Amino acid sequence: MPRASRAVPEVLAAVDLGSNSFHMVVARYTHGQLVVIDRLREMVRLGAGMGDDGRLDKDAASRALACLERFGQRLRDMHARDVRVVGTNALRVARRKQAFLERARDALGHPIEIISGMEEARLIYSGIAHTMPAENGRRLVVDIGGGSTEIIIGEGFESQELASLNVGCVSLSQRYFDDGKISVKRLQRARLATQVELEPVQAAFLRRGWEQALGSSGTVRAIGESLRELDPGATAITARGLKNLLELIGDAGHVRAIRLLAVTDERRPVFPGGVAILAELFDALKINQMRFADGALRDGLLYDMVGRLTAAADPRERTVASMQKRFHVDIEQAARVEATALEFLSQVQNAWHLESHQAELALQWAARLHEIGLDVAHSGYHRHGAYLLQNADMPGFGREEQLLLACLVGGHRRKLVLEGSEDLIPPWDKLAILLIVLLRLAVVLHRGRSTSPLPDIGLTARSRTLELRFPARWLREHPLTVEDLQQEIAFLRPVGIRLRVYSGSRAAAA
């Protein structure tokens, strides 16, 4: 069932909660083009506030919340209707972060989704591809963040090779230059740590190749400006320039002694780590020179938002279709389940407060993917499907979206175990079970895989009670369905859902 496109709102905004800096960009969509009308950036140093136990300390959390309150005020003032907020490495690895995420949502006025490193890489490339002039050939893109470094090869608007390295300018600087001291030996150790992370993907990137190399992020910009400061004739970052910069900061001996106008006081503590990462990437990937690109993750988010509203361009649609093909899904059966589940949703969405577009999308995609686990094994295939959805790289999807899909697919048959639902961002921690019920009923009614259409089935929802009304005699003619519904009543009772089934005007045997 193709999804209808929606109108793109006039004002959109994207917020990137990075490990080092928070960024916000607000744009106006007019005549099919995005025009940036405001940008905000604050160095929050969220990654630097991560304790040994993986929890955010109070100072880092306070800085982040204060920044988000300021961002939230600007969003309200500018009447941004559609806003997407993503967290990257620091929030990916943080432990016990749910309370912080809820406070952050209240401060900003919008929920936060945490994206995987691969999704971050895809969005970075999209941001650069959409904000640069069109050029022939493949591009290598490098983005050095606070907690991770993304490298991508792509052509046109499509990424072809993606990797997210678990090393960034903040994390590497904390590890090797935490006391501010710099030496040749420490720089070599920092480069070796980068090499260890790069090694598993190095051959694949070299094998694919590229025609031009581009760098994004504040770190790459600061390195490029530093090289021009040392050599006013420099037009790009080069291997020789990086070698000279490494020697300069190594001779400085301490971050306070780095005398470069391009390196601000707030960037100075993490600058050695960023230079070490880029120097190692130049050597390992045999990069000759690199230009700076203004596009970034937040720009990719804006274009992704426009794509999501235009169903044909939504990367999530392509991902779902790709997974259906990869795991040999019975497309016709999935379509039958999807149509019934969405019809049921239309009847109960007001009573069960499922009016949001996200509820429709989650139910639609879960129906299309509910049988992917069959490609692993029939026994417990719903659990296999949930595992795949929770752990696969799914371009276009945030982690919370994947977790919601995993909950729906994992709960669509047999005994209902709401594993993982407590980790969902509100309100889905409470509403997921209602979507599961609708999916379960659609699956039950199409269990025989018949191509014959179902009769008109009326649903009435009240709180945690659901009534199904079938045409007179239909259930009597389908005794296996009656048996399945009796089991469903028993499966739902322990989780507090009362299912009642009626035939015509009377209660059915179920």
For 303-314, the pLDDT digits (tens) are 999 988 876 678
Residues 137 and 108 occupy one common structural domain = no
Percent over 70 (pLDDT), the chain: 97
C-alpha span between 480 and 321 (Å, rounded): 32
Residues 112 and 139 occupy one common structural domain = no
Closest Cα partner for 366 from 342, 396, 399? Answer: 342
pLDDT band at 505 (very low <50, low <70, confident <90, very high): low
Residues 352 and 434 occupy one common structural domain = yes
pLDDT band at 236 (very low <50, low <70, confident <90, very high): very high
Residues 471 and 346 occupy one common structural domain = yes
What pLDDT is recorded for position 367?
Answer: 98
Final residue of a structural domain among 264, 279, 305: 305
Query: Which residues constitute the domain of residue 435?
Result: 314-507
Sequence length of the chain is 510
Establish if 166 belongs to a structural domain. yes
- CATH number for position 223: 3.30.420.150
In this prediction the pTM is 0.86
Q: What is residue 438's three-state secondary structure?
A: helix
Final residue of a structural domain among 278, 305, 332: 305
What pLDDT is recorded for position 368?
Answer: 98
| Alpha helix positions (H), 310-423 | 315-326, 331-348, 357-369, 381-391, 399-410
Establish if 123 belongs to a structural domain. no
Over the stretch 459-469, which tens digit does the pLDDT of each residue have? 999 999 999 99
Establish if 124 belongs to a structural domain. no
Residues 360 and 484 occupy one common structural domain = yes
Over range 225-249, report the average pLDDT. 94
Instruction: Classify residue 254 by its DSSP letter.
Output: B
What pLDDT is recorded for position 375?
Answer: 94
Residues 47 and 169 occupy one common structural domain = no
Over the stretch 329-340, which tens digit does the pLDDT of each residue have? 999 999 999 999
- CATH number for position 36: 3.30.420.40
Q: Residue 76: is it exposed, middle or buried by C-beta count within 10 angstroms (0-12/13-18/19+)?
A: exposed
307 or 328, higher pLDDT: 328
Over the stretch 148-195, which tens digit does the pLDDT of each residue have? 999 999 999 999 999 999 999 999 999 999 999 999 999 999 999 999
Query: What is the DSSP code string of 35-86?
Result: EEEEEEEEE--TGGGB-TTSPBPHHHHHHHHHHHHHHHHHHHHTT--EEEEE
Establish if 1 belongs to a structural domain. no
Q: Is 450's pLDDT higher than 80?
A: yes
Residues 195 and 278 occupy one common structural domain = yes
C-alpha span between 45 and 174 (Å, rounded): 12
Residues 222 and 83 occupy one common structural domain = no
| Mean pLDDT across the chain | 92
Final residue of a structural domain among 246, 275, 305: 305
Numbers of helices and strands, H then E, in the chain? 17, 15
Residues 377 and 278 occupy one common structural domain = no
What pLDDT is recorded for position 324?
Answer: 96
Residues 253 and 389 occupy one common structural domain = no
Over range 420-448, report the average pLDDT. 91
Residues 270 and 147 occupy one common structural domain = yes
Establish if 6 belongs to a structural domain. no
Over the stretch 258-295, which tens digit does the pLDDT of each residue have? 989 999 988 999 999 999 999 999 999 999 999 999 88
C-alpha span between 453 and 437 (Å, rounded): 21
Residues 40 and 96 occupy one common structural domain = yes
Closest Cα partner for 218 from 172, 284, 183, 169? Answer: 169
Q: Is 6's pLDDT higher than 70?
A: no
Which has the minimum average pLDDT: 94-103, 121-130, 379-388? 94-103
What pLDDT is recorded for position 312?
Answer: 63
Q: How many domains does the chain have?
A: 3
What pLDDT is recorded for position 308?
Answer: 85
What pLDDT is recorded for position 7?
Answer: 72
Beta-sheet pairing, 138-144 with 212-216: parallel
Q: Is 2's pLDDT higher than 60?
A: no
Instruction: Classify residue 464 by its DSSP letter.
Output: T
- CATH number for position 445: 1.10.3210.10
What pLDDT is recorded for position 51?
Answer: 81
